[in-house]
Amino acid sequence: MEINGKTKVVGIIGWPVSHSLSPLMHNAAFCHLGLNYCYIPLPVAPEKIGEAVRGLEALGFVGANVTIPHKEAVIPYLAELDVGAELTGAVNTIVRTPAGLKGYNTDVDGFLRSLKEDLGYVPVGKKVVILGAGGAARAAVVALALAGAAAIVVLNRNPERGRALCELLAPRLRERGWQGELAAFPLPPEDGEKVFQGANLLVNATPAGMEGFAAELPLPLEQFPEDLVVYDMVYNPPLTPLLQECRRRGLKAVNGLGMLLYQGAAAFTLWTGREAPVEIMASVLAKQVKNQ
């Protein structure tokens, strides 16, 4: 890759960002298509976030990704939000437009595309159980509701946070015409059989199983329906403890590498107007995750 006077710049704003796989993934994609773009890490301390976002415009960045802990904090500095960002209240991609900076949540699109490509799962009319009530769970709830899921159950360790997620998202989704059910219960659930009855997708949107975090999820695995498919947003290690358990029980299950890939692919298209070379990006991610 040759950087010259015409190179267009994008980057990732986070704190820290040194662990991010996005620079390698996007730079490989730019190189593959011969695009004169460059993707750089942009570590930004929380108290500097406003200056940093305004700086994107001043410095002529094409856009940026946004990661923890800034996904919500960038919103006041943006001119416009897409549907996913508005509903989740979180932005992971910024695009500079003639009207100002626009925020997107491509985790929403990335999750849905991964469900389809990696599990062959289409949410229309289905019941889904989601573990967790943080940012990733919010993206999953919004994605599933926008895709027509009939019922979404959120299980969270801190039940208050689960209820708060429902109170935040239910009115927003209703306003968009979603007529499905959204409910929250504690994790572990008191009546696992009832919670899982009729569900055919389980999504882990907690860091449990991720390197450095507790491995175990307090789940009534023996009460899972036999046709349940499982999406674990964790991808490091690639064969997570939840995936191992699912395999032992013969349940179809995938990790969250596809979500990472497809949120990146959606951002790539927003910045370049080109379809992302997902095979190249996927091979970069797979190699990195294996090496970590």
67 binds ligand NAP (CB under 6 A): no
Q: For ligand NAP, what does the binding mask look like between residues 262 and 291, x meaning CB under 6 A?
A: -x----------------------------
Q: Which of 41, 43, 148, 207 binds ligand NAP (CB under 6 A)?
A: 207
**Measured from the CB atom, is 96 or 209 closer to ligand NAP?**
209
Cα–Cα dist 146/46, whole Å: 31
**Measured from the CB atom, is 96 or 232 closer to ligand NAP?**
232
**C-alpha torsion angle, residues 288, 133, 83, 38 (rounded to 10):** -20
CB of 187 to ligand NAP, least distance (A): 6
180 binds ligand NAP (CB under 6 A): no
Contact 39, 30 (CB under 8 A): yes
Sign of CA dihedral 271, 274, 278, 280: negative
> Which of 46-54, 188-196, 252-260, 278-286 is the region at the interface with ligand NAP (rule: CB under 6 A)?
252-260
> Which of 119-127, 177-185, 228-236, 242-250 is the region at the interface with ligand NAP (rule: CB under 6 A)?
228-236
Q: Which of 182, 233, 265, 276 binds ligand NAP (CB under 6 A)?
A: 233
Cα–Cα dist 98/42, whole Å: 23
Contact 263, 107 (CB under 8 A): yes
237 binds ligand NAP (CB under 6 A): no
Q: Which of 8, 48, 71, 194 is catalytic?
A: 71
234 binds ligand NAP (CB under 6 A): yes
Q: In what order do the strands lie in the sheet with 253-254?
A: 181-186, 151-156, 127-131, 201-204, 229-232, 253-254
CB of 257 to ligand NAP, least distance (A): 7
Contact 44, 64 (CB under 8 A): no
161 binds ligand NAP (CB under 6 A): yes
Cα–Cα dist 220/99, whole Å: 50
Q: Which of 208, 219, 254, 266 binds ligand NAP (CB under 6 A)?
A: 208
- Residue 71 catalytic? yes
Q: Which of residues 112-141 bind ligand NAP (CB under 6 A)?
A: 132-137
DSSP code of residue 134:
S
Cα–Cα dist 168/153, whole Å: 14
231 binds ligand NAP (CB under 6 A): no
CB of 34 to ligand NAP, least distance (A): 27
CB of 114 to ligand NAP, least distance (A): 8
Cα–Cα dist 227/230, whole Å: 10
Residue 44 makes CB contacts below 8 A (sequence gap 6+) with 13, 14, 15, 52, 70
Cα–Cα dist 229/283, whole Å: 24
**Which residues contribute to the site for ligand NAP (CB under 6 A)?**
107, 132-137, 156-158, 161, 187, 205-208, 210, 213-214, 217, 233-235, 256, 259-260, 263
The catalytic residue positions are 71
